[in-house]
Amino acid sequence: MILQTVFGEISTRETRSRLSKASSIFLKDNPKLKPVFEWLKKNEVRCVKDIKNQVLREAFKEIEFNYEVKWSVDENFWVIHFHNVVPYEGNFPKAIQEYLSLFKRIIERPYKQDKGCLDLLEEIEKLEVEIQRMKESLKEDA
């Protein structure tokens, strides 16, 4: 199937069994998606649970819920597999377009899964909460 996405025309390979449907996007068929595959490789993301950023993970889960389609990556062949969650269900064209739009947004803005960066962000959040408590304490003392 050929889909029009934010990356242009993308070709997918369809498979179907009695209960399940699947659609796959191969890097060799879609060289325009090289930045997506590079980001997935660099950040060691193979499925939603590998995404450490909670906001991004929720965005992926929302697409999964809305269209009943999950995704995973096979790094041996550099392919993204999309498969239905519920037998006989799943809006693959819409789901794939939404997933690729989200990947494009992720690639365009700086996002790293580097443990050091995540630890720093977590520390900043803790300090902001502590500062807020101190401000409230000062207001009560005044």
Domain boundaries, the chain: 2-111, 112-142
Closest CA to 12 of 76, 75, 100: 100
Cross-strand pairs, 70: 83
Tens of pLDDT, residue by residue over 22-74, are: 889 999 999 999 999 998 998 889 999 998 888 888 999 999 999 999 999 99
Overall pTM surpassing 0.85 (yes/no)? no
Cross-strand pairs, 8: 5
